[in-house]
């Protein structure tokens, strides 16, 4: 179902990101990321010291200053590159979307009914346009007249055209999609620049990217850590002077840059963009990063039964004879009742009969005529050429019909019908003439694999609630079969919103999917509302995510992506902060070794010289950023398990790993520097 | 034997702290409890007399009440110190305290620091000892207990944050006064004086005349420890034989200063209706405490290598500055406890601890959450717990929550202020003092030890501990003003920001706990909590510690 949309060639992407990372060096841009901005200031100071070593009094080594300056420069570039790369993926997608947004000609219907050809940009809300086969739909709108098949591949990537028709839940069309057949009259619902496509482009482009609440909170922490280390480093100079252990400014800046959380500071926005991007690649458009973040926190998912949990079309599962009828007879009559019934339900009856040994010859009914289902009679059937009337329908309806025809009701009919209903099925009675032969057991089938998915969700601590219009008995059976935690039977649209409010009042975050106009209030109320692209404009407006594939089960993946986003952020923050331990052990002895030779006892990594120790730590600090870019982009691996297990696992990898990795890395870099005779 | 002594004290602490935690939780319950029948009468009379309305407060009202009451307290204290020469209760005829020293002293006792730039026996009248020192020694821990209760109510989602004045009164009637009476009597049985008689004059065997200072010592010493105050009646504090005459009084004093800080995590567990939660907080504090204690003991017992080289036997350990009646074990324990609980009382001179032994009190005060002072220590560790949840909580794929309440931008901003201020008010004045003549002239041992001395003074002020690396000539305008300011910031910034955090958390709808929720009541979280304290709280100070005690240790090895 879900395909990833094609993005620009990776090579092209890297090149563009490379150029972007230089553009981002502009201090006005850097200022938005305070952690990296501090690094940039450090870069400028050390750069000055390279050319004017005595700037701050006292001699300093211009070569060393130059090297520090260069490493800082590279550190900033790496961080910018990460961000640019993440943004680039979105931009590439936006561009492919923009191609579909060409300026199209629209046939506008004037007030006097005359057709006038105008540019699509001149269309305003409320205008009427006519679109014919082969033409692009000029703007988002609603079909007011006609039926057409529309190729929506520009947006969904799905090549099979979809049927759109006036009225009902399939009336909305999207600008930029192409009418393949027929002719429709469309009322424009958006002004230029505000269409769904426009919004999608700006979203994937990240033009209006706002920091999410958790990102802001984390940023606050990172800034305060940066300030703390700024205090540490600026106060260190006078304190060291007191014992005549003056520290060169470049060394002090190196210490500062190593201690402040540059790793997470450099990757934070890339993680956020990549998280949204992963959702997009999944063919889901999130209206904001906040929505993606919120999906990680979801406690309850409300799912519609039909179409989400079950296939939605009830299938014949069994024929149940009543009274004295023979099963072969029932088989035949049931099949004959459905010969003209082209609904999936009807077809499944014929199929079941065939499977149970009915000869195909019995189904050839020349001269017969189908009777369509009508709401008043609640029956359908076949009038045979012989004049015999075969009917199937709701048990009550058939009972009434048979009595009218002067027939009798078999004694075991009600009991057997109840048994089917209790088991969650729908009984349909079958009558030939005025005799009821038996029941068709219609069953709604749960999609394969749903049980496992709900089990997975339970392990993630998420409760699933099934909403259905079925009676409580049927609902309970399906709920049991699918393994959802709870269900609401005989649900009306108001019930859904009441349920969401109830859950939210208990502090839970709720996700739901929907497509109809009557789902719109609930979609808006939910913390994460995933609308189907095939749904109505109202539903899409109300939701904060739109699934282009219109696959309601995707909400589960969206939750996983949200969790992954938060986990990645947490893991890299932990890693970044844990790195400080090793950096301290590299730099502190190096800083004071000249003035206090005994400090070498703290040089537990056995780094060659003070200079190589400082440079190794600084180089490690820089290259860890590009090393972690793939992780930031792809996200930390997420397998559903309890929070405690998840935490222990990530804590070992990113916490303990964060303490140990730099010890190894710094030592390695030191060995290489020595090997290359650089220090 | 040393091990047994220390273990015994810690076991008794356990036995006392758990029921005490339960008692504290019940004493400050917003619901009616049986304790109301015992204390209710007296308390109602106090409310009536002082016009206290017992209605619930918002966090802002609560914080305002803390500030208003504390400003009144400091004003009273300052005036009394300035006027003590003219006031009664001054049998030894002690003159008024000069303005800057009065400021420093009043602030020092107001902030529960008890940094003493004066010497009690010669600087204060009996009236000042009682109306300034003992008075503030009750009200400031009571303030701390009140604030922690308000904070814990916010975290555990009680009905409201409470009423400051009710909490303040209850801290006196239900906790401090009853305990102080018991401890005072215990001390008196061990020979600690409690008298209004003036300084005694004795003739020594060699015939010279000796002035023996005395006074209402036992009552001061009891609350000095119970309230994690630390300001001694005498200049040499609890190493003075009248303040701490026997090993038994030493143990009583250790236990009384550790009792409330150690009981508060358990009180938190009771309030959160999760005893395990209490154990996790206590466990983290206790693990850090043990690490510090072992370091102190190991270094002191190994003696001072510099003195050994000079030919002084170090078989007994490093006994310089220690009382023979306590020995290494009771001295190391006392040192570890007094700076963990940020009491600041001393039974040995911290200036003469071995370099790494001296690192222990410094380190504990820098963390300021290894039990910590009455109330504030628990507030600090809970703040670190919120921080730990924020850092690690994301790793379970949810936005962080602590006890069912989401930790968001607002809380992080407030916590950021608190974690930022602590290193700022230690490191910035230390740098200024060392870089300027007005500061560095007070140092008695230049070099690495000088850094330790200055650093210790400000750390002790910031953590509201009050002990000193004596040896610093600190009764000068520079030191009186700078430490005074550091003490004020050290106390009130975290109190106000954390009350704001409590208010903000209390206003949130609690999130139900699920399988996907980060558990904060298991050993994994204990590890995360300790790691957060060490990495965020301690690594900040590593560079300066490297120049002070660590450099000193390395150079005398």
Is A286 marked as a binding-site residue?
no
B90 CB burial (10 A radius; 0-12, 13-18, 19+): middle
**Is A231 close to B395, i.e. CB distance below 8 A?**
no
Residue B40 pLDDT greater than 80, yes or no: yes
**Is B535 close to A574, i.e. CB distance below 8 A?**
no
pLDDT level of residue B58 (50, 70, 90 thresholds): very high
Q: Which of A34, A216, A221 to mutate to test the interface with B (most CBs of B within 10 A)?
A: A221
Closest CA to A618 of A654, A589, A582, A653: A582
Is A224 marked as a binding-site residue?
no
Catalytic residues of A: 304
**pLDDT score recorded for residue A1:** 36
What tokens appear for A615 in the block?
């440079």
pLDDT level of residue B281 (50, 70, 90 thresholds): very high
**Is B517 close to A643, i.e. CB distance below 8 A?**
yes
DSSP A538: H
Nearest CB to B435; choose among A214, A241, A259: A241
Domain borders along chain B are 2-202+210-556
Nearest CB to A592; choose among B514, B522, B547: B547
CA of A263 to nearest chain B CA: how many angstroms apart?
A: 15
Is A422 marked as a binding-site residue?
no
Is A61 marked as a binding-site residue?
no
Nearest CB to B419; choose among A224, A296, A647: A224
Residues in B closer than 8 angstroms to A577, CB to CB, are: 391, 535-536
Q: Residue B69 belongs to what H/E stretch?
A: helix B59-83
**Is A235 close to B544, i.e. CB distance below 8 A?**
yes
**Is A238 close to B540, i.e. CB distance below 8 A?**
no
Nearest CB to B543; choose among A221, A232, A569: A232
**Is A562 close to B397, i.e. CB distance below 8 A?**
yes
**Is A242 close to B416, i.e. CB distance below 8 A?**
no
CA of A296 to nearest chain B CA: how many angstroms apart?
A: 6
CA of B226 to nearest chain A CA: how many angstroms apart?
A: 33
**pLDDT score recorded for residue A4:** 44
**Is B420 close to A220, i.e. CB distance below 8 A?**
no
Residues in A closer than 8 angstroms to B417, CB to CB, are: 224
Is A495 marked as a binding-site residue?
no
Residues in A closer than 8 angstroms to B396, CB to CB, are: 567, 570, 643, 646-647, 650
Is the alpha carbon torsion for B116, B117, B121, B123 positive or negative? negative
Is A519 marked as a binding-site residue?
yes
- Cα A363 from Cα B496, distance rounded (Å): 85
Structure-model confidence comparison of residues B83 and A552, the more confident one: B83
Sequence-separated (6 or more) residues with CB below 8 Å from residue A413: A322, A323, A395, A399, A429, A436, A439
User: Average pLDDT of B291-300?
Assistant: 95
Closest chain B residue to A587, measured at CA: B543
**pLDDT score recorded for residue A619:** 96
**Is B395 close to A223, i.e. CB distance below 8 A?**
no
* Radius of gyration of the CA atoms of chain A, in A: 34
Residues in A closer than 8 angstroms to B397, CB to CB, are: 296, 460, 562-564, 566-567, 638, 646
* Radius of gyration of the CA atoms of chain B, in A: 23
User: Average pLDDT of B212-230?
Assistant: 91
**Is B394 close to A573, i.e. CB distance below 8 A?**
yes
What tokens appear for A105 in the block?
């000609």
**Is B427 close to A232, i.e. CB distance below 8 A?**
yes
Closest chain A residue to B400, measured at CA: A214
Is A209 marked as a binding-site residue?
no
**pLDDT score recorded for residue A208:** 53
Percent of chain B's residues with pLDDT above 70: 100
The answer to whether residues B63 and B495 touch, using CB atoms and an 8 Å cutoff, is yes
CA of B406 to nearest chain A CA: how many angstroms apart?
A: 10
Long-range contacts of B288-291 (CB under 8 A, 24+ apart): B288/B367, B288/B370, B288/B530, B288/B533, B288/B534, B289/B336, B289/B340, B289/B364, B289/B370, B289/B371
What dihedral angle (degrees, nearest 10) is formed by the CA atoms of B254, B260, B261, B267? 150
User: Average pLDDT of B261-269?
Assistant: 97
**Is B451 close to A221, i.e. CB distance below 8 A?**
no
Query: Cα B546 to the chain's mean position, in Å?
Result: 25
Closest chain A residue to B387, measured at CA: A221
Is A515 marked as a binding-site residue?
yes
The answer to whether residues B301 and B543 touch, using CB atoms and an 8 Å cutoff, is no
pLDDT tens figures, B138-182: 999 999 999 999 999 999 999 999 999 999 999 999 999 999 999
Residues in B closer than 8 angstroms to A632, CB to CB, are: none
**Is B514 close to A462, i.e. CB distance below 8 A?**
yes
Closest chain B residue to A656, measured at CA: B531
Q: Residue A312 belongs to what H/E stretch?
A: strand A310-321
**Across A60-64, B226-230, B258-262, least confident range:** A60-64
**pLDDT score recorded for residue A10:** 67
**pLDDT score recorded for residue A101:** 63
Q: Residue A196 belongs to what H/E stretch?
A: helix A196-205
CA of A363 to nearest chain B CA: how many angstroms apart?
A: 55
Adjacent-strand bridge partners of B212: B200
- Indicate the pTM of the whole model: 0.86
- Cα B330 from Cα B254, distance rounded (Å): 9
pLDDT tens figures, B481-538: 999 999 999 999 999 999 999 999 999 988 888 888 888 999 999 999 999 999 887 8
Residues in A closer than 8 angstroms to B509, CB to CB, are: 505-507
Residues in A closer than 8 angstroms to B420, CB to CB, are: 224, 227-228, 231
Residues in A closer than 8 angstroms to B555, CB to CB, are: 596, 598
The residue count of chain B comes to 557
Q: Which of B280, B386, B395 to mutate to test the interface with A (most CBs of A within 10 A)?
A: B395
Is A377 marked as a binding-site residue?
yes
Ranges of residues in chain A whose predicted pLDDT is under 70: 1-10, 58, 96-97, 99-103, 154-159, 168-169, 203-209, 312
CA of A265 to nearest chain B CA: how many angstroms apart?
A: 14
Q: Which of A210, A214, A219, A242 to mutate to test the interface with B (most CBs of B within 10 A)?
A: A242
Q: Are strands A486-488 and A463-467 parallel, antiparallel or unpaired?
A: parallel
């Amino acid at each position: 179902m879900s395909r990833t949309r094609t993005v620009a060639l990776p090579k092209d992407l890297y090149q563009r990101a490379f150029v972007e990372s230089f553009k981002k060096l502009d201090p006005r841009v850097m200022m938005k990321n305070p952690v990296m901005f501090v690094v940039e200031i450090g870069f400028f100071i050390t750069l000055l010291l390279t050319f004017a070593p005595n700037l701050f009094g006292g001699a300093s080594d211009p070569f060393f200053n130059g090297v520090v300056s260069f490493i800082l420069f590279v550190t900033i570039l790496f961080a910018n590159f990460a961000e640019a790369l993440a943004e680039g993926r979105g931009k590439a997608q936006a561009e492919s979307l923009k191609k579909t947004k060409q300026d199209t000609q629209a046939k506008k219907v004037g007030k006097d009914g005359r057709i006038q050809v105008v540019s699509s940009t001149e269309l305003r809300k409320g205008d009427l346009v006519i679109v014919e086969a082969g033409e692009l739909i000029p703007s988002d709108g609603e079909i007011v007249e006609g039926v057409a098949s529309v190729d929506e591949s520009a947006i969904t990537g799905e090549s099979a055209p979809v049927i759109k028709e006036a009225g009902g839940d399939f009336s909305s069309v999207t600008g930029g999609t192409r009418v393949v057949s027929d002719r429709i009259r469309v009322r424009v619902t958006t002004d230029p620049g505000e269409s769904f496509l426009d919004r999608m482009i700006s979203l994937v482009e990240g033009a209006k990217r706002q920091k999410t609440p958790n990102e802001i909170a984390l940023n606050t922490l990172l800034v305060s850590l940066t300030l703390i280390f700024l205090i540490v480093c600026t106060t260190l100079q006078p304190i060291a002077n007191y014992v005549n252990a003056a520290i060169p400014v470049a060394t002090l800046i190196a210490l500062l840059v190593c201690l402040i959380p540059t790793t997470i500071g450099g990757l934070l926005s890339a993680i956020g963009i990549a998280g949204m991007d992963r959702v997009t690649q999944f063919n889901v458009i999130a209206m904001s990063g906040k929505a993606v973040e919120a999906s990680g926190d979801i406690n309850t998912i409300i799912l519609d039964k039909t179409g989400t949990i079950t296939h939605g079309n009830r299938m014949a599962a069994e024929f149940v004879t009543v009274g004295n009828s023979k099963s072969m007879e029932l088989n035949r009559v049931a099949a004959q009742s459905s010969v003209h019934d082209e609904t999936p339900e009807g077809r499944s009856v014929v199929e079941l009969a065939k499977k149970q040994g009915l000869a195909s010859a019995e189904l050839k009914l020349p001269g017969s005529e189908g009777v369509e289902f009508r709401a008043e009679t609640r029956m359908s059937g076949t009038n045979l050429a012989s004049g015999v009337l075969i009917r199937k329908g709701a048990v009550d309806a058939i009972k009434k019909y048979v009595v009218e025809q002067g027939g009798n009701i078999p004694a075991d009919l009600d009991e057997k019908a109840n048994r089917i209903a209790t088991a969650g099925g729908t009984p349909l009675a079958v009558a030939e003439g005025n005799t009821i032969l038996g029941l068709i057991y219609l069953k709604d089938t749960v999609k394969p694999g749903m049980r496992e998915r709900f089990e997975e969700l339970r392990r993630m601590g998420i409760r699933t609630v099934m909403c259905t219009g079925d009676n409580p008995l049927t609902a309970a059976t399906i709920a049991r079969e699918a393994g959802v935690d709870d269900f609401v039977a005989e649900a009306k649209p108001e019930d859904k919103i009441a349920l969401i409010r109830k859950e939210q009042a208990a502090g839970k975050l709720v996700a739901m999917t929907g497509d109809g106009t009557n789902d719109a209030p609930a979609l808006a109320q939910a913390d994460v509302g995933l609308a189907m692209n095939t749904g109505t404009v109202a539903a899409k407006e109300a939701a904060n995510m739109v699934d282009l594939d219109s696959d309601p089960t995707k909400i589960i993946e969206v939750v996983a992506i949200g969790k992954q986003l938060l986990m990645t952020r947490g893991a890299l923050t932990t890693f970044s902060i844990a790195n400080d331990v090793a950096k301290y052990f590299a730099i502190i002895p190096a800083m004071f070794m000249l003035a206090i030779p005994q400090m070498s006892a703290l040089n537990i990594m056995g780094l060659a010289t003070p200079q190589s120790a400082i440079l190794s730590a600084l180089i490690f600090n820089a290259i860890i950023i590009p090393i972690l870019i793939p992780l930031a982009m792809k996200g930390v691996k997420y397998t559903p398990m309890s929070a405690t297990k998840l935490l222990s696992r990530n804590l070992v990898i990113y916490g303990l790993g964060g303490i140990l990795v730099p010890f190894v890395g710094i030592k390695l870099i030191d060995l290489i520097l020595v090997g290359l005779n650089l220090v | 034997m040393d091990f047994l002594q220390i273990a015994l004290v810690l076991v008794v602490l356990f036995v006392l702290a758990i029921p005490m935690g339960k008692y504290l939780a019940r004493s400050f319950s917003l619901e009616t409890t049986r304790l109301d029948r015992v204390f209710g009468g007296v308390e109602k009379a106090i409310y009536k007399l002082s016009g206290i309305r017992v209605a619930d407060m918002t966090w802002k009202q609560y914080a305002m009440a803390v500030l208003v009451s504390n400003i009144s307290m400091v004003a009273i204290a300052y005036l009394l110190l300035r006027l003590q020469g003219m006031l009664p209760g001054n049998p030894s005829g002690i003159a008024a305290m000069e303005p800057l020293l009065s400021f420093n002293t009043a602030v020092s006792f107001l902030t529960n620091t008890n940094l003493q730039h004066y010497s009690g026996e010669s600087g204060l009248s009996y009236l000042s000892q009682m109306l300034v020192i003992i008075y503030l020694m009750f009200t400031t821990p009571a303030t701390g207990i009140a604030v922690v209760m308000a904070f814990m109510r916010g975290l555990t989602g009680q009905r409201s944050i409470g009423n400051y004045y009710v909490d303040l009164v209850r801290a006196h009637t239900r906790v401090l006064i009853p305990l102080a009476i018991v401890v005072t009597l215990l001390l008196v049985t061990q020979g600690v004086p409690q008298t209004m008689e003036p300084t005694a004059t004795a003739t020594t065997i060699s015939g010279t005349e000796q002035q023996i200072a005395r006074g209402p010592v036992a009552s001061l010493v009891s609350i000095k420890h119970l309230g994690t105050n630390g300001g001694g009646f005498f200049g040499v504090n609890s190493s003075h034989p009248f303040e701490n005459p026997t090993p038994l009084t030493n143990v009583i004093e250790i236990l009384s200063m550790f009792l409330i800080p150690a009981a508060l995590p358990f009180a938190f567990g009771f309030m959160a209706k999760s005893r395990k939660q209490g154990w996790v907080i206590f466990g983290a504090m206790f693990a850090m405490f043990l690490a510090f204690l072992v370091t102190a003991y190991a270094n002191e017992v190994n003696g001072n290598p510099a003195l050994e080289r000079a030919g002084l036997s170090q078989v007994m350990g490093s006994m310089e500055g220690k009382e023979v009646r306590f020995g290494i074990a009771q001295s190391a324990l006392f040192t570890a406890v007094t700076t963990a609980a940020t009491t600041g009382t001393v039974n040995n001179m911290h200036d003469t601890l071995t370099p790494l032994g001296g690192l222990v009190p410094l380190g504990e005060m820098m963390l300021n959450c290894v039990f910590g002072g009455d109330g504030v220590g628990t507030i600090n560790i809970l703040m670190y717990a919120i921080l730990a949840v924020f850092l690690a909580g994301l790793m379970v794929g949810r936005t962080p929550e602590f006890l069912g309440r989401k930790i968001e931008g607002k809380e992080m901003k407030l916590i950021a202020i608190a974690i930022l201020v602590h290193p700022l008010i230690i490191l910035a004045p230390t740098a200024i003092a060392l870089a300027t003549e007005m500061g560095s002239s007070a140092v008695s041992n230049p070099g690495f030890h000088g850094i330790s001395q200055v650093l210790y003074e400000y750390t002790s002020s910031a953590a509201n501990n009050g002990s000193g690396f004596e040896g610093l000539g600190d009764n000068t305008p520079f030191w009186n003003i700078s430490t005074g300011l550091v003490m004020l910031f050290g106390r009130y910034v975290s109190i106000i920001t954390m009350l704001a955090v409590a208010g903000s958390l209390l206003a949130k709808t609690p999130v139900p706990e699920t399988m996907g929720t980060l558990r904060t009541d298991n050993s994994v979280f204990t590890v995360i909590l300790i790691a957060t304290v060490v990495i965020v709280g301690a690594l900040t100070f590593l560079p300066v510690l490297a120049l002070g005690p660590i450099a000193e240790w390395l150079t005398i090895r």
